[in-house]
Amino acid sequence: MKLIRNKISRPYFFLALLVCIVASTTVFAMLPQPLARIPLPFISQEPLPQEFKRLEAVYQILQKEYIDQSKLENPEYLIEAAITSMLEALDEPYTHYLNRDLYNLQTSQIQGSFVGIGARVEKKNGSLILHPMPGYPAEAAGLLNNDILLSINGMDAKTMSQTEVVMHIRGQPNTTVELQIARDGVSNPITIVIERNVIPLETIKLKDLENGFIMLDISRFSRSTPGELKELISNLDLNTVNGIVVDLRNNPGGLVESVVSVTGHFLNEKIIFHQVEKDGNQITHESNQDSTLLKTVPLAVLVNKYSASASEIFAGAIQDYKRGPIIGEKTFGKGSVGLLFELPGNTGLSVTSARWLTPLKNPIENIGIAPEIFIVDDQSTERDEALDRALKYLAANRK
């Protein structure tokens, strides 16, 4: 067994993506890359409790006596079922088993890029809806927004799980994948061949708003996010910036080290959050960010019910230090640290190992961050009500 010592924040409801999977809203997974590989002797060599011998005995009896031996030909299936049941008994959703496919996806996501076609897949009303990303292979091949996925390389996709869709679309650079899609207003299915390529995982988008205000839309906190922020800052004339909106809506989290670095850009205070270990010991995470460029610019932060994990660390620190208002909905409430173990067979085990507290030691787990200004965006309108409220605040508090 190998321990991947990247500590990650990971909401349970997000899957790893090679094509970006979304639910009915746009959300992205943030997944760890193996950094430290601990050899098998890391696991205790003490004998297992006597109770576990029952599992071995059951398997041996099945091998000898069970009527349908064909069901025992794949012991991996039985082992995975036993592991899954064991973890379900803990009644803690963030400690879970990853089969080979999920583990491979999870460990590939943090690279800063992925091989794919550059499209999001949305599961909506039983259909797989495709959304090509501007400037990437799917769009160049002719895929349009809201095309419905029917098949992948001739395989019926309508009943595929999201993981299966990802596994069939992923591949090597410069190879092709054939998608059959249905398009509104077109009677017959359309076949599109798309060449896979390396897609950079940009995590921050800068948007110029009115009256000298800007928005930093942070989709997740990956290894590249602090560098992206520094590059954006270096290209900004901050003398002309009257206020900043940080948009964390639908941000599922990411790397702890990344959010600590990014949050430090906006705060004079050093403490970003506290971590409570299983033995009750507390570890304080501080930023060593010396840059003062963003620390005094008026700030507002947008969140919603899908803002989770690392994004809640950011929002909690901003709120505790009264740096700027949190605007939107109460956040998801995922305030725990996970360790990712690599198991034999290229499978994995994600284990909750600690809880988080905000700088003022307020818990996040199952509670979330409550905004000072509560607004639910009206999906039936084109207006962004939360952003409008943030701009109103910044206009009243501009430099």
Residues 314-361: tens digit of each pLDDT: 999 999 999 999 999 999 999 998 888 888 888 888 889 999 999 999
Q: Who has greater pLDDT, 27 or 284?
A: 284
| Pair 141, 263 in one domain | no
Among 55-59, 170-174, 206-210, 216-220, the range scoring the smallest mean pLDDT is 170-174
Burial category of 353 from C-beta neighbours within 10 Å (exposed 0-12, middle 13-18, buried 19 and up): middle
Last residue of a domain, one of 200, 229, 259: 200
| Pair 242, 131 in one domain | no
| Pair 165, 142 in one domain | yes
The active-site residue, picked from 261, 334, 336, 350, is 334
Q: What is the CATH classification number for the domain harbouring 124?
A: 2.30.42.10
Would you state the structure tokens that stand for residue 72, as one six-digit string?
């025992």
Whether 248 and 314 have beta carbons less than 8 Å apart is answered as: yes
Q: What is the CATH classification number for the domain harbouring 296?
A: 3.90.226.10
Q: Percent of the chain, pLDDT > 90?
A: 57
Domains contained in the chain, number: 2
Mean pLDDT of all residues belonging to the chain: 85
| Pair 153, 226 in one domain | no
Q: Could you tell me the pLDDT band of residue 131, with boundaries at 50, 70 and 90? A: confident
| Pair 278, 344 in one domain | yes
Q: Is residue 129 part of a domain?
A: yes
Closest by Cα among 79, 6, 1, 2 to 337: 6
- As a whole number of Å, the end-to-end CA separation of the chain is 54
| Pair 242, 292 in one domain | yes
The pLDDT assigned to 100 comes to: 83
The active-site residue, picked from 261, 320, 336, 350, is 320
Q: What is the pLDDT of residues 249-298, one digit of tens each?
A: 988 888 899 999 999 999 999 999 999 999 999 999 999 988 888 999 99
Active site residue 320: yes
- Domain span at residue 330 reads 204-396
Q: Is residue 13 part of a domain?
A: no
Active site residue 217: no
Q: What is the pLDDT of residues 352-393, one digit of tens each?
A: 999 999 999 999 999 999 999 999 988 778 899 999 999 999
| Pair 288, 169 in one domain | no
| Pair 269, 333 in one domain | yes
| Pair 267, 380 in one domain | yes
Return the SS3 of 163. Answer: helix
The pLDDT assigned to 305 comes to: 92
Q: Is residue 35 part of a domain?
A: no
CA dihedral of 82, 84, 86, 89, whole degrees rounded to 10: -140
The pLDDT assigned to 266 comes to: 97
Whether 23 and 13 have beta carbons less than 8 Å apart is answered as: yes
| Pair 194, 242 in one domain | no
| Pair 214, 193 in one domain | no
In sequence order, which ranges of the chain are alpha helices (DSSP H)? Answer: 53-65, 75-88, 100-108, 137-140, 162-169, 225-234, 256-264, 310-320, 385-396
Average pLDDT over residues 57-81: 93
Q: Is residue 27 part of a domain?
A: no
Q: Could you tell me the pLDDT band of residue 109, with boundaries at 50, 70 and 90? A: low
Q: Is residue 49 part of a domain?
A: no
Q: Is residue 388 part of a domain?
A: yes
Q: Is residue 360 part of a domain?
A: yes
The active-site residue, picked from 309, 311, 336, 350, is 309
**CA 268 to CA 344: how far, in whole Å?**
45
Last residue of a domain, one of 200, 223, 245: 200
Q: Could you tell me the pLDDT band of residue 43, with boundaries at 50, 70 and 90? A: low
Q: What is the pLDDT of residues 72-103, one digit of tens each?
A: 998 888 999 999 999 999 999 889 998 887 88
Amino acid at 119: A
| Pair 296, 358 in one domain | yes
**CA 103 to CA 3: how far, in whole Å?**
13
Average pLDDT over residues 29-41: 35
**CA 389 to CA 379: how far, in whole Å?**
16
Last residue of a domain, one of 176, 200, 224: 200
